[in-house]
Amino acid sequence: MVMFPKIEVKELRVSYGEKLVLKGITLTIPRNEITAIIGPSGCGKSTLIKALNRMVELVPEAKVGGQVFLDGEDIYAPDVDAVTIRRRIGMVFQKPNPFPSSIYHNVAFGPRILGVNDRAKLDDVVQESLVRANLWDETKDRLRENALSLSGGQQQRLCIARALATNPEVLLLDEPASALDPISTAKVEDLLRDLKREVTIVLVTHNMQQAIRVSDRTGFMLLGELVEFKPTSELFDHPSDSRTEAYITGKFG
């Protein structure tokens, strides 16, 4: 049993039009841990994490049922502002997507939107975020340069810095390293291990070795259902469900 989970998901159902994509997911995400979600293409794992910060509402014809609690509060309650939720629960996507503007502007964007206008304060936030994303040393002398001049791995860390700039409590990452080379991947994974001391992290990944390397808990999804959810070392050593075993060992099952 997870005591005081950061996020609690109860019977979450998501459909796109007539198609039911999530069939009633229930799980608890512990705070200050890295939770990985694995599963074959089309299992619903990206839909699940998008549902955790209401990004799923941006998908046309998406309907959401069930509940998602953040620190005990239902984020889908009618009086809850989605933008506030997305500030508290940040997201980083598979393909690095920095804005086509300066490195500084990318990171300062979020805080500016939230009303931080004082130059000195913005400078501090930008520096702190880039430090937390392990990117400060590589960018401190080129903050005015266009973000697109950075390498793929640096761009992804910039996107993480951008997400961190609004001081989120949770970070959702949808295959954050799948477009990166091995060294950049290692840097992102190191970064996540450092960040979890302050932030709760949920990570969707195709890469099982990555899930084993960085996550504390792993959930296996198949056809819109959560088949199994347990400590990572247990799931990968002796899964309880034969479907999990078949997937992680690469069998027809």
Min dist CB 39 to other proteins, Å, is 14
Report how far apart, in Å, the C-alpha atoms of 14 and of each of 8, 44, 85, 93, 213 are.
Answer: 16, 9, 18, 20, 30
Query: Which of 69, 236 has the CB closer to other proteins?
Result: 236
Residue 90 interacting with other proteins (CB under 8 A)? no
Q: Does 253 bind other proteins (CB under 8 A)?
A: yes
- Residue 245 engages other proteins in binding (rule: CB under 8 A): yes
| Residue 115 binds to other proteins (criterion: CB under 8 A) | no
- Quickly list DSSP for 186-216: HHHHHHHHHHTTTSEEEEE-S-HHHHHHH-S
Phi, psi of 120 (to 5 degrees): -65, -40
SS3 140: coil
Q: For residues 121 and 89, what is the distance between their CA atoms, to the nearest angstrom?
A: 22
> d(Cα 28, Cα 42) in Å, to the nearest integer?
22
Residue whose CB is less far from other proteins, 82 or 212: 212
- 67 burial type by CB count under 10 A (0-12 exposed, 13-18 middle, 19+ buried): middle
Exactly one of 61, 79, 137, 237 binds other proteins (CB under 8 A); that residue is 237
Cβ proximity to other proteins: between 41 and 117 the closer is 41
DSSP state of 32: T
d(CA 136, CA 62): 39
Instruction: Please identify, among the stretches 73-81, 135-143, 162-170, 242-250, the one whose residues bind other proteins according to the rule CB under 8 A.
Output: 242-250
Please state the closest distance from residue 252 (CB atom) to other proteins, in A.
6
Residues in contact with other proteins, total (CB under 8 A)?
16
141 binds other proteins (CB under 8 A): no
Instruction: Tell me if 182 contacts other proteins by CB under 8 A.
Output: no
- The site string for other proteins over 187-226 (x = CB under 8 A, - otherwise) reads ---------------------xx--x--------------
* Binding positions for other proteins, rule: CB under 8 A: 208-209, 212, 236-239, 244-246, 248-253
